Amino acid sequence: MNLRSVPPARLPAVVPIDRFMLNVEVHATSHVGRVRKGNEDNYLMLHISRSVAWTGTQEDSEFIIESQNFEVDDNGVVLAVSDGMGGAMAGEVASKMAVECVSEKLLEDDLEETLTPEAYDYNLIAKLYNATVYANYLVHQQGRSDAQFQGMGATFTGIGVTSRGIDLIQVGDSRAYLVRNGKIYQVTKDQSLVQQLIDAQQISPEEAETHTLKNVILQALGAQNEIFPVAARLKPCNGDVLLLCSDGLSNKVSAAGMQRIVTENYDTLGKAAATLVTEANNNGGEDNITVVIAKLTGDDLPAPNGEDVQLEILDLGNVHDTAEQDTAEILEDEA
């Protein structure tokens, strides 16, 4: 089974889109790890219609799993992780600004706005894209106006869940995975220097794991004046599990290890989140560790049928030439 993409579609696109009734069970946590003195990661859980958001606000000494169940409506649910950088307190500020700015921007929009059918189908991903660009502007301005925050930035990996599908937005090297039908797929692509070297066939994925420039990313919120988030859409199946994480998890637990833990704890995914953090810490825990796990269920959702998992690449008006993001090349990682 392979993960394939369909050609990019400029929005709005006049295409028939299935709509689903679904529920999302979400578990999120952020842990300082075993080495760092502070936690520069954060996460977001947002129910737009209810105007309710949860972020990673626990103390560094705490280990809390935030669990929620959402009935998804047309306005949708947004989930995200953000990994801050910049040293001292700057990284913590950057990731906190990232999730809060995106949340506030999404809640500012008129939920009663009348939309054409074409615009309606891609309404949330367009808003999420714009909110991410807006967050970049605010984080960048904060870094320019305050010397203690100069050079700060944050990754941002988010998903928007609506009755039309699962939308993804990517800036940096935090990751989103899909666990479906006993397999795991990485459905985002790292915007990093080593990934660029892999794409150019200059190094192997195995060499990338220990490369001296492994932590160099090509874009982050606040690090540049302008960013170009990568957007895509995934058609959901009943029982899908989406896993978002910072590199504090993905650098310490393999995709196969994530798949095993999620599968073993499929009916207790809060335990899966805790186990993933524990395993990352047992493997060194040198970085902060953030994970958001979401299970999608609904009678209207199709059952997994063993066919290729498809991503629709969404053209929202910009192409990031440097990162050369093409999720058509995402690889499946079997357990």
pLDDT band, very low/low/confident/very high, at 93 (cuts 50, 70, 90): very high
CA distances from 295 to 20, 23, 224, 250 (A): 15, 8, 34, 19
Print the SS3 string covering 306-329: CCCEEEEEEECCCCCCCCCCCHHH
CA 198 to chain centre: 21
CA-CA-CA-CA torsion sign (140, 176, 194, 228) = negative
- How far, CA to CA in Å, does 179 sit from each of 53, 111, 174, 244, 318? 25, 31, 17, 11, 29
Q: What is the pLDDT of residue 6?
A: 43
- Cα atoms found within 13 Å of the Cα of residue 123, Cβ hemisphere only: 23
Is residue 247's pLDDT more than 90? yes
Q: What is the pLDDT, as a whole number, of residue 316?
A: 81
CATH class belonging to 3-333: alpha beta
Residue 243 or 109, more confident:
243
Beta strands 165-171 and 183-186 are unpaired
Retrieve residue 317's tokens.
């008006």
Q: Determine the pLDDT at residue 70.
A: 97
CA angle, 108 then 110 then 111, to 5° = 110
The model's confidence at residue 4, banded by pLDDT at 50, 70 and 90, is low
pLDDT band at 272 (very low <50, low <70, confident <90, very high): very high
pLDDT of residue 166: 95
Condensed to tens digits (0 to 9), the pLDDT of residues 299-335 reads: 989 999 877 788 998 988 643 333 333 433 333 444 3
Question: How far is Cα 118 from Cα 17, in angstroms, rounded to an integer?
Answer: 10
Please report which confidence band the pLDDT of residue 236 belongs to, taking 50, 70 and 90 as the band edges. Answer: very high
What are the tens digits of pLDDT across the range 28-77? Answer: 999 999 999 999 999 999 999 999 999 998 777 789 999 999 999 989 99
CA distance 280 to 289: 8
Give which of 297, 267, 325 is closest to 22, Cα–Cα: 297
pLDDT of residue 15: 43
Name residue, tokens 């714009």.
Answer: 130
Question: DSSP H helical segments within 45-116, as ranges?
Answer: 90-108
